[in-house]
Amino acid sequence: MPALISSSVTLKPKLSTLTFVTSNADKIREVTAICKEYGIRVEPIQSIDLPELQGSIEEVAREKCRQAALASLGLDGLNRLLAGHVDKSAAAVCTFAFSWGQFQDQYPYSNDQSASAPKAEPPEVFLFQGRNEGRIVPERGEYGFAFDPIFEYEGKTYSELRPESKNRTSDRFKGLIKFLDWLAN
C-alpha cells in the first residue's frame, strides 16, 4: 500500500503537541510513533469517560471530539476559552424523565401471545425540566461539584451557596419540584 505522505515530504505542522483521547494503549503507541516522525509530541489522555454515541462515523467522531475538548479544558480552561468573548451567558439545565412503567391497570397485558391479544403500548415518558440562566465566571466558592464554582446565578456561583440554599434555587431543584408537583396532582 502506498504511503499517503512520502517520507521525502517535509511537513511543517501547525502544532507541536497533539492531545489524543483514547483508552486504547495500542492506538496511543501507534499514533505516537507516527507523529514523532513529524516532530509532534503526543499527549495521551485516557481518563475521560465519554458516552457511547450513535450516528454516522463522522457524526460520532465530531461529537466525541467536542465532548473530550470540553471535558479536558477543566473549569479554568473554560474561562480562558471565554476570555475574549463579551457574552459569557450560560444556562444550567436539569431534566428528569419519568415513566409509570407497564402497570396492568394502565396498559393492556395478556399472557395470550395470539394475534388477537391486545398489545402493550410502550410506556409514556414525562419530562420535567428546571433551568437557571446565568453566566460563566472565574472559580468562586467552596461547596458544590462539577461546574458549580464557575456558574453564577443571581450574583453568586452555585459553589458560594450552602447546599441547603442551592437545593432551594438550583435547576435540579426546579426540575424536581415540577416532577413532585405533577406527581401530587
In a domain, 101, yes or no: yes
Can you give the pLDDT at residue 119?
62
Amino acid at 76: D
In a domain, 156, yes or no: yes
**Residues 1-24: what's their mean pLDDT?**
66
Residue range(s) defining the domain that contains residue 101: 87-185
Cβ burial of 164 (10 Å; 0-12, 13-18, 19+) is exposed
For all residues of the chain together, what is the average pLDDT?
82
Question: Residue 153: which CATH number?
Answer: 3.90.950.10
In a domain, 33, yes or no: no
Can you say whether the dihedral through the CA atoms of 166, 167, 168, 171 is positive or negative?
positive
Cα distance between residue 29 and residue 92, in whole Å: 39
Express each pLDDT in 51-102 by its tens digit.
778 888 888 888 888 888 777 778 887 887 787 789 999 999 999 999 887 6
In a domain, 132, yes or no: yes
In a domain, 80, yes or no: no
Closest CA to 87 of 131, 132, 133, 135: 135
In a domain, 137, yes or no: yes
Number of domains, the chain: 1
Which three three-digit cell numbers place residue 47? 481518563
Which three three-digit cell numbers place residue 130? 428546571
Residue with cell 437557571: 132
Beta-sheet pairing, 126-136 with 151-153: antiparallel
**Residues 155-181: what's their mean pLDDT?**
95
